[in-house]
Amino acid sequence: MKIYANNKELEVSGQRPLIDELRDAGYDIPSLCYAPNAVHEASCMVCMVRDADSDQMMPSCATFPTEGMHIDVDSDEVMSLRRMSLELLLSDHKARCGVCGSKDKCRLRELAVRMKAKWTRFGPLPPPCQAEPVHVNGRLWFEPAKCIRCGLCVYNSDDGFTFQGRGFDMQVVIPEQSKKNVDKQLAELCPTGALYIL
Ligand code: SF4
Ligand code: SF4
Ligand code: FES
């Protein structure tokens, strides 16, 4: 099928979300809660694009192309919404890059720098999280302060990962009884290095 990205015609299969089609066509679409071939629920909203026909913003990771649709990929309006989504996440982030072991492989930090996002747009930063890193199993660790609750580990774990609480209080819980089986590949999905191999 044909779609139009920034008014340029693209031939797409229609079987993959817009984010994959647009990236393959060379567009730089950021994402945090999405990984190709992994189960995800659109939650970070940093991948937004605009449906130029209906003037609706939509997460490109959770939207499939339809014949003839026109997508505004990266206008000022789109970029500003993406930045705001990022700033919302940062406003509740309880780790500090200066003392964080994830620094060089953290997609949240990389995006914040690249998109010139303000950490304090929605008020002063919360105090750093005092929770200690949790040993999951073997060389796998979980550091709650770095978690942005993207859900990738929860939705792709066969080991009982779950969310507890709601809103800003929501946190990942790894049940004791399932820790011995946890798949280390989950660390590769984690966008901040909250799950990491030591
Ligand atoms: S997890 Fe990423 S954004 Fe958060 S403090 Fe560490 S490097 Fe910075
Ligand atoms: S630990 Fe990582 S993958 Fe899991 S919810 Fe937190 S940020 Fe996402
Ligand atoms: S990457 Fe699309 S909502 Fe997170």
Residue 31 CA, closest ligand 3 atom number: 1
Pairwise CA distance, residues 149 & 195, whole Å: 12
Contacts of 188 (CB under 8 A, 6+ apart): none
Nearest ligand, measured from the Cα of 92: 1
Structure tokens at 48: 């937004």
| Three-state DSSP class for residue 6 | coil
Structure tokens at 140: 């796998």
* Residue 176 pLDDT greater than 90, yes or no: no
Residue closest by Cα to atom 4 of ligand 2: 153
Residue 33 CA, closest ligand 2 atom number: 8
Q: Is 111 left (phi over 0), alpha (psi -120 to 50) or beta?
A: alpha
Structure tokens at 39: 């189960």
Contacts of 103 (CB under 8 A, 6+ apart): 97, 109
**Residue 160 pLDDT:** 87
Percent share of the chain, pLDDT over 70: 100
**Residue 154 pLDDT:** 95
**Residue 137 pLDDT:** 87
The H or E element that residue 88 is part of is helix 76-91
Topology given in CATH for the domain delimited by 2-74: Ubiquitin-like (UB roll) (3.10.20)
pLDDT in tens, 108-150: 999 999 999 999 999 998 888 888 899 998 889 999 999 999 9
Nearest ligand, measured from the Cα of 110: 1
**Residue 161 pLDDT:** 92
CB 165 within 8 A of CB 171: yes
**All structural domains of the chain with their residue ranges:** 2-74, 90-197
Pairwise CA distance, residues 15 & 105, whole Å: 30
* Residue 179 pLDDT greater than 80, yes or no: no
| Separation of CA 9 and ligand 3 centre (Å) | 24
DSSP code string of 21-65: HHHHTT-----SS--TTS-----S-TTEEEETTTTEEEEGGG---
